[in-house]
Every structure is written in C-alpha cells, then in structure tokens.
Amino acid sequence: MSVLVFNKPFTQQEPISPEAIAEAARVLESGRLHRYNTVEGEDGDTALWESEYAAYQGAKYCLATTSGGTAMQIALRAVGVQSGDAILTNAFTLAPVPGAVAAVGAMPVFVETTENLTIDLQDLEAKIKSSTARVLLLSHMRGHLADMNALCALLEKHGVLLVEDCAHTMGAEWNGIKSGNYGKVACFSTQTYKHLNSGEGGLLTTGDADIMANAVILSGSYMLFEKHLARPDKAAFEAPRFENPNCSSRMDNLRAAILRPQLPHLDRNIDRWNRRYQVLEEKLRSAANAVVPNRPQQELYVGSSFQFLVPDWTDETCRAFVDACKKRGVELKWFGDANPVGFTSRFDSWKYAPEQSLPGTIAILRRIMDLRVPLSFTEEDCDTIGTIIVEELGRMSQS
C-alpha cells in the first residue's frame, strides 16, 4: 500500500505581484532608494506607505523601519525604557522579542503561557507585583490573542504600559478592534514569513504624538522629520530632536514600493489563510491525542501558521514524531527542544536574560508542534498535511 507523501516546500511564499514588481522597478530606475532622497514637492514611497498603513490600521501615526525587531527596540526607547529596567514579556515567543529588550539594555521578566498559547494573566499579575516592571512587551505569538479586554483592565489597574508585538497578528482583531490598537504603541513585521512581504521590514503605530516624535528621531530622520506624512505636528519634535540618538533604522523606498500594492489584498489573504487553517483544524481535532488551541468568538485571527499540542511525550518521542512527519514531507517545528533549531528557540536558551523558573511554560513548550501555512498551499494541500499528521499521531500512540 502506498504511503501518502506531501511534496511542496513549507518556505515557498506566493510570488511578488507584477504590480509590485513594476513599482520596485520604478524606484530602481529613479535611483532614489533612500527615503529622504526626494525632489521638492515629492512624497517618497516610504512616507506614502506609512500614511497608507496608518489608514488601514486606524492609527494616527505610523513609522516604517528596517525590521519588526528594530520597531520594538525603537518603541521601547520611545516610551521611556532605560538601561536596567525590567520589562514584562511572554515566555513563549521568538528571539527578536527578548532581543529587543536586551538591545535597549533592559531585562526581560518572563510570564507563563496557557494551553491556548496566550500570556497567563494570573502569572502576569503576580510578576507585576513581584517586579519593578512597568512596561509589558506583549507578543501575540503565532497569532494567538489573549483576552485583550481583561489584559488591558489588569494593566490599567497596576499602571503598566502596553507595547504590542503584532508580527503575527497584522489584520487580526479582538472584539472588532484591530490588534495593535489596544496598547500605547504597536509593532509589526513585513519579513517574508509574515502577512506582507518585503523580505525584511517593520512598522510602528501609535496615537501618541510624543511617542511618535521620539520614534521618528530614533529611527534616523536626521532633521528631515517634516518629510513624514503620518507624523505629529512639528512642535512635537522640538525636544526629541536634541535628546534621542540616531539608530539608523529607516525603511527604504524600494521595500515600501513593494509593500504598497500588497496592502489592498491583505484582508482577502486573511480569509484565504483562515480557510486553510480551518481545514487543518478540522483534521487535527479529529485526532484523539492532539489538542488544538481554542479560538474565542471575540478573536478574528490570521491563520498563517498552525499549532497543536501532542501528549506529554518524552523528548525522544517528540523528535521521532517530527522526523516521521518530515519523511513524509511535512515540516513541523517542536518548541520543546532545549537546543535552538532554525527560527525556533525557547526562553531558557537566551543566556543574555536572567535565569527564570517557568515550569508551566516548559510543560507547554514540550508539547507544542508548529507549522507554516503559506498561501502557496491549497486547501487540498492542507487536507493532505492534516491527514499525514493525524496518521503519524496514531502511529506514535500505538508504539
């Protein structure tokens, strides 16, 4: 009997559209790639991109940066984080999040994770009380939104400022409010594996004039901040232009030109991702030995990746399961491995952070399996992938 095998790469994104390629060629032909290299009366692509994304997000101000990581670093500096400060953040996240904390000289205070892969609000309150931290850098890891109303009420109660990392939730919503519009400032990514693709790139949005003025100067605007369209009035820059260092984190016109034609298609692509996610969800919920995180009714998610939890297996069994799926063409990432692999690592491998005990998160990480869901996959592809995973889960339970 033949064994079902999947034969498409998990790293293959859809091609950049002819429209975006034409826009990129236009910028290349002009030679004006630097965001401030414009002629009199001209708005560069980066300034236009910031204005367009601000309108999509429903944010007053927007800044484009070189990456989501630099957006987070700038955001932390812009809200007043100083070297030595304690910053609350998820224990279940990816390395750029604690990396941003370390880059500004602060120290991450990790918060436990629930089985639904969101921040544990009970542990968050305990960590607020037991630390000096007054900023939460909240990672909406792998697109899973916590109860944002309950979280914001908790932060307001304790006077903690929220910075949202929306790298995995661009276009997502909680109770009809876009992810990123709950915090004081939000950060997004346009890296290839996110929801808009410029290879690398980031965005920072806020409704606070002082934060945005700080951020624009920090990004490396020199004294050209007036060339920004999605910015506060000139008066907001009077103090920041003398007080903030130039961190040279500007997006260029080439990447902005590639991104601008993609934005009108984002909501349609979110629907396409979610249809693929739902095929995988239906398959995995049929497996007796897998747990799929719940998606609350209040959450409009973006299913660009898929996670499920396996039983409390040994490390050897988890590795054997990943290997068995890989032999059949399905690339899973296991977050339980103490040895960082590819894009995947866990909090106790980040040795620049103080050692912390998070037994609940370790127990969850040991069970998390994760896979990308690129739009280059069809819904039929996702059905095949789900079938292979369910079959291998069944074999593991019998061995």
Buried b (16+ CB within 10 A) or exposed e, 71-107: bbbbbbbbbebeeebbbbbbbbbbbbbbbbbbbbebb
| Structural contact between residues 145 and 121, judged by C-beta atoms closer than 8 angstroms | no
pLDDT digits (tens, 9 = 90+) for 68-82: 999 999 999 999 999
Dig out the tokens for 147 from the structure.
């109860």
pLDDT at 2: 76
Residue 381: burial class (beta carbons within 10 Å; 0-12, 13-18, 19+): middle
Tell me what percent of the residues of the chain surpass a pLDDT of 90. Answer: 95
Name the pLDDT band for 1 (thresholds 50, 70, 90): low
pLDDT digits (tens, 9 = 90+) for 191-206: 999 999 999 999 999 9
Name the pLDDT band for 35 (thresholds 50, 70, 90): very high
Structural domains in the chain, CATH included, are 18-264 (3.40.640.10), 265-398 (3.90.1150.10)
DSSP letter (8 states) at residue 353: S
pLDDT digits (tens, 9 = 90+) for 159-173: 999 999 999 999 999
Residues 6+ apart with CB under 8 A from 132: 85, 86
Rounded distance between C-alpha atoms, residue 160 and residue 207, angstroms: 17
pLDDT at 11: 95
| Structural contact between residues 117 and 368, judged by C-beta atoms closer than 8 angstroms | yes
